[in-house]
Amino acid sequence: MHGRPRKAPKPEEEAASVAKAQKLRALQTQFFSFHHNKIPSQTHLRNRKRKQKMHGRPRKAPKPEEEAASVAKAQKLRALQTQFFSFHHNKIYTKEAVELSAKLLEINPESYTAWNYRKLAVEHYLSQPDCNPDWIKSVLDDELRVVENALRQNFKSYGAWHHRKWVISKGHSSIDNELRLLDKFQKADSRNFHAWNYRRFVAESMKRSEQDELKYTEDMIYKNFSNYSAWHNRSVLLSALFEKKAEGFLSKEKVLPEEYEFIHQAIFTDPDDQSGWFYHLWLLDQTVTTDSPLLASSWPGHGYDVFLVEDRCYNGSAFSPFTALHSDSGSFPIVLYFNQPVGGVSSSTVTVECGFNKNEDLLWKPLSASNSQTARVWVAHLKIPSSDLLSTVEVSVGHSKGIISTRGFEYSHPSMFSFKVHVQPMERDFSQVSVAESISLREENFKIYGSQSEESIINSFNQLSIKNGHESTASNWRSEALAKEIECFRELLSLMDCKIGKLTLARLLMAYDVMSYPFANKLVHSEEVLELCSDLMKLDPTHYQYYKDEHSMVLLQKVTSSKESLLQHCFQYKDSVSSAICGPVCLRLNNLSLSRMGAFEKLLWVQMLDLSHNELQSIEGLEAMQLLSCLSLRNNKLRSLTALEPLRKLKLLRVLDISYNQIGDHSIDTTRYLCSSPLSHSVGSESNKDETVTSDVALIDNWEAFYIFKDFNLNQLEIVGNTIADEKFKSVLVKIMPKLKQLDGKLLG
């Protein structure tokens, strides 16, 4: 196999194999006995009881006549299927064969093979030399009748609706009758999303205006406020009208306030119905989201002085702790953080002008967990000379077209920022840094900044947020619309205790703060929002984790909203910093009960980050923090190695503490599907199929560890306190990371 000679089994291996085969045969014999005598298993009995209770309705035992009818129907269906498959296999398209497929579909509209057979039969008839327009119409009308009969049996049949669309797409059938047919089915079930999807297809084929369809959704909603499909169709139609800039829909300023008034009728009539709340959430998104993507932040920021040095990176006065950086790769990252995922970032859409590098040499990469070509965060590495240098770098974003959001909107607001780069020559090989200079993010190693250092941090903080020329205060109508909604929902909550009302109010308050104070970074309502999230965790424990995540996101927005609040979490690492870490500023977000990370656009500058003693199960988004060289995730709830996948993109990371998590506690890794095995042959896999992996059994058994850690350049790693961290696993880590100098506090040889 695979070019390897097969070894003869040892006697003990052969004996074990025989015993296993005997056990398997015994199990099979017992199983077939149960199966033959129709003895249900305990699992089957439990499943049957669960199904009987499904939807809150006890399942009644069938009457003898009903059971007899069901048996007769099954026998008839089997006979039809046997004959049908014979016709299909032999490509027989006679009138008798086609009529038999119609009978089969009338009994079982979900027979996709029968629908495909009828397509083949139609194509066969239409390809005959004596085919004329009347014959074509007759053939296709027969298909429409078969579909209608099938839909009477099951008007939610995917195959039937797809077949009807296929027939109409041929262009030989009248579609005037389609809306009348849809009215019948929508009277039977006004929320049938199959019918609504088909209606959109018919309306487009008839060149029926979006305004007429909008009026139809309004009529359907007035008949039933709980018609989720009608609300959804309304959002689809309005989105199309906004995109076309149709007359009366040139802007959202007039339309959205009227839609808010419309949705209030549904929400306040029945606050427990979810349909209207979903539409309100869509309206809120339309109110706060700009169509065209914007550049939210960058590193380096506009006006930065970036110091690239080797020894004694920070001396307390010459350099800003935010901008001193060491890079042993001869380059440093430029990070662009957009307000929504975009594609098309390249050397043609982003130009970088400086005296020591050419723009065409830069390769822009998206930082996406799914490895797609669209992302909020894009990074390129600017090569730097090894000699003394002082140079200005100008970065222009979007002056040439090509940057497009995932929703199809172009980046239409060109941006520019510039910074200075100070390079000092490297006096020694960084790879030979003494292992004695170990980094430990423990309480005793930090101290609060003095007044002089505080001033330095505050001055640097003023440059953290990017200020583009296109930025302006929010449109008055947006703020006014949000203010009215806040007033409305406060009134609703004063009358009743409504969970989804509290959640909506929290969303409105956060959106209002962002809209009303874009430059001041104020979060006027953050305390109220945090209190609402806390209430929701108590009121609705079923969705506790969702509210907990929202609470964490708001808390992080609050922490990063101003230099004063951020300063409370900035600490100095010891009296003098190791040469392994340039910036001695450590952002300590420990003991905040965080379950989710966010506010990354404000944290691009961070080199040392302490997230210990939180409740993080995921660190998604951390890949945006490209300067991270020292990270503590100690005492969190990370459940697997693959949860560390975002760290693979942090090329400057040297010190990592993941001790006392839950790695290895859970047999099922819910994040494993995000990572492809290095042993697989999947297309697009990043992993190298080198001989070290395929020949080392220990690495094969620990492919997740190999996948996560193989690209790391760690000097220190703490993994103690995890179930997986036994001596055997530690030896695997040493193989994967030969540059590792310290593991769980012990020096490696």
Among 149-153, 446-450, 542-546, the minimum mean pLDDT is found in 446-450
On whether residue 95 sits in a domain, the answer given is: yes
Rounded to the nearest 5 degrees, what angle is found at the Cα of 676, between the Cα atoms of 674 and 682?
A: 130
**Token pair listed for 374:** 């669209």
CA distances from 322 to 170, 368, 458, 722 (A): 65, 25, 10, 33
State the virtual CA torsion across 386, 387, 393, 397 in degrees, nearest 10.
-20
Looking at 385, 402, 426, which one is the last position of a domain?
426
pLDDT for the residue 341: 93
Residue 1 has pLDDT above 50, yes or no: no
Question: Is residue 31 a part of any domain in this protein?
Answer: no
For the chain, the straight-line distance linking the first and the last C-alpha, in angstroms and rounded, comes to 39
Are 665 and 726 contacting, i.e. CB atoms less than 8 angstroms apart? Answer: no
The band of 683, judged by pLDDT with boundaries at 50, 70 and 90, is very low
Query: Closest Cα to residue 351, out of 263, 438, 417?
Result: 417
Token match 């909107």: residue?
409
**For tokens 């969705």, what's the residue?**
543
- Which position has the higher pLDDT, 311 or 153? 153
* 411 & 556 share domain: no
Residues 6+ apart with CB under 8 A from 95: none
Q: pLDDT grade, residue 579 (50/70/90)?
A: very low
- Of the pLDDT bands very low, low, confident and very high (cuts 50, 70, 90), residue 3 is very low
Residue 205 belongs to domain spanning: 71-253
Task: Quick: pLDDT tens for 150-198.
Answer: 988 888 899 999 999 999 998 888 888 888 888 888 877 777 888 899 9
Predicted pLDDT of residue 213: 92
What is the C-alpha to C-alpha distance for residues 223 and 230, in angstroms, rounded to an integer? 11
pLDDT of residue 463: 54
CA 639/CA 633 separation, integer angstroms: 12
User: Is the pLDDT reported for residue 688 higher than 90?
Assistant: no
pLDDT of residue 182: 86
pLDDT at 320 over 80: no
**Over 80: is that where the pLDDT of 58 sits?**
no
How many independent structural domains does the chain possess?
A: 4
Judgement on whether residues 350 and 495 belong to the same structural domain of the protein: no
Q: Is the pLDDT of residue 246 over 60?
A: yes
Both tokens of residue 697?
């059994």
Place of tokens 């007033």: 487
In which band, very low, low, confident or very high, does the pLDDT at 714 lie, cut at 50, 70 and 90?
Answer: very high
> What is the spatial distance between Cα 225 and Cα 227, in angstroms, rounded to a whole number?
6
What is the rounded CA–CA span in Å between residue 260 and residue 266?
Answer: 10
Across the range 367-393, mean pLDDT stands at 85
Average pLDDT, the chain: 81
Q: Highest mean pLDDT range out of 312-321, 546-555, 561-570? A: 546-555
Instruction: Return all residues near 557 (Cβ < 8 A) that are at least 6 apart.
Output: 510, 523, 526, 598, 599
Q: How far apart are CA 283 and CA 386, in angstroms?
A: 54
Domain contains 12: no
Q: How far, in Å, CA of 381 to CA of 652, rounded?
A: 12
Q: Identify the weakest region by mean pLDDT among 115-129, 478-492, 549-563, 701-715.
A: 701-715
Nearest residue to 716 via CA among 608, 619, 620: 608
List Cβ neighbours of 703 (8 Å cut-off, separation of 6 or more): 677, 678, 679, 693
Q: What is the mean pLDDT of residues 17-25?
A: 64
Does 225 lie in the same domain as 148? yes
* pLDDT beyond 50 at 432: no
pLDDT, residue 290, reads: 80
Whether 542 and 588 share a structural domain: no
Domain boundary among 253, 288, 307: 253
Are 87 and 198 in the same domain? yes
User: How sure is the predictor about 545, in pLDDT bands with cuts at 50, 70 and 90?
Assistant: very high
In order of 1, 159, 234, 298, 395, the CA distances from 415 in angstroms are 58, 50, 35, 11, 8
Q: Is residue 1 part of a domain?
A: no
DSSP letters for 60-100: PPPPHHHHHHHHHHHHHHHHHHHHHHHHHHTT---HHHHHH
Reported confidence tier of residue 365, pLDDT bands at 50, 70, 90 = very high
| b/e 686-708 (16+ beta carbons within 10 angstroms → b) | ebeeeeebeeeeebeebbbbbbb
**What would the mean pLDDT of 474-496 be, rounded to a whole number?**
87
What percent of the chain has pLDDT above 90? 41
Confidence of residue 577 (pLDDT cuts 50, 70, 90): very low
Spatial CA neighbour of 323 closest among 333, 341, 308, 336: 308
> Do 554 and 577 reside in the same domain of the chain?
no
Q: Name which residue leads in pLDDT, 305 or 378.
A: 378
In terms of domains, do 382 and 337 share one?
Answer: yes
Give yes or no: residues 365 and 393 share one domain.
Answer: yes
Residue at a domain's end among 390, 411, 426? 426
Cα(173)–Cα(463) distance, rounded to whole angstroms? 65
Residue 566 forms part of a structural domain: no
Of 702 and 313, which is predicted with more confidence? 702
Position 469 scores a pLDDT of: 41
* Structural domain contains residue 336: yes
**pLDDT, position 672:** 53
CA pair distance 585, 577, nearest whole angstrom: 10
Give the CA count within 13 Å in the CB-facing half-sphere of 43. Answer: 0
CATH of the domain at 176: 1.25.40.120
CB atoms within 10 A of CB 749: 4
- Asked whether the beta carbons of 583 and 553 are under 8 A apart, the reply is no
Highest mean pLDDT, choosing among 13-27, 169-183, 300-314, 682-696: 169-183
The 10s digit of each residue's pLDDT in 641-673 is: 989 999 999 999 999 999 999 998 877 665 554
On whether both 521 and 605 belong to a single domain, the answer is: no
Q: What is the gyration radius of the CA atoms in the chain, in angstroms?
A: 33
Average pLDDT score over residue span 578-607: 83
Of all residues in the chain, the percent with pLDDT exceeding 70 is 77
- Report the 10 Å Cβ neighbour count for 732: 18
On whether residue 448 sits in a domain, the answer given is no
526 and 582, same structural domain?
Answer: no
3-state helix, strand, coil in the chain (%, to 5): 50, 10, 40
Pick from 4-8, 82-86, 119-123, 304-308 the range whose average pLDDT is largest.
Answer: 119-123
Q: Which long-range contacts does 179-186 make (Cβ < 8 Å, 24+ apart)? A: 179/206, 181/148, 185/151, 185/155, 186/220
In angstroms, rounded to a whole number, what is the distance separating the alpha carbons of residues 262 and 721?
56
Q: What is the mean pLDDT of residues 400-420?
A: 90
Q: Report the CATH number at residue 393.
A: 2.60.40.3710
Same domain, 301 and 363: yes
Is the pLDDT at 323 greater than 70? The verdict is no
H runs (alpha helix) in 206-334: 210-223, 228-244, 252-269, 274-288
Task: Spell out the residues 6+ positions from residue 224 whose beta carbon is closer than 8 angstroms to its own.
Answer: 190, 230
Lowest mean pLDDT among 98-112, 251-265, 310-324, 626-640: 310-324
Burial classification of residue 41, based on how many CB atoms lie within 10 Å of its CB (0-12 exposed, 13-18 middle, 19 or more buried): exposed
In whole angstroms, give the CA distance from residue 488 to residue 426. Answer: 62
Rounded distance, CA 294 to CA 297, Å? 9
d(CA 279, CA 226): 11
Q: In this structure, is the dihedral angle defined by the CA atoms of residues 359, 362, 363 and 368, taken in order, positive or negative?
A: negative
CATH of the domain at 580: 3.80.10.10
Buried b / exposed e along 250-265 (16+ C-beta atoms within 10 A): eebeebbbebbebbbe
Give the pLDDT of residue 317: 42
Closest to 304 measured CA to CA, from 184, 415, 482, 465: 465
The helix (run of H) or strand (run of E) holding residue 573 is strand 570-573
For residue 550, being part of any structural domain is answered with yes
- Residue pair 287/280 in contact (Cβ under 8 Å)? The answer is no
Q: Do residue 81 and residue 173 come from a single domain?
A: yes
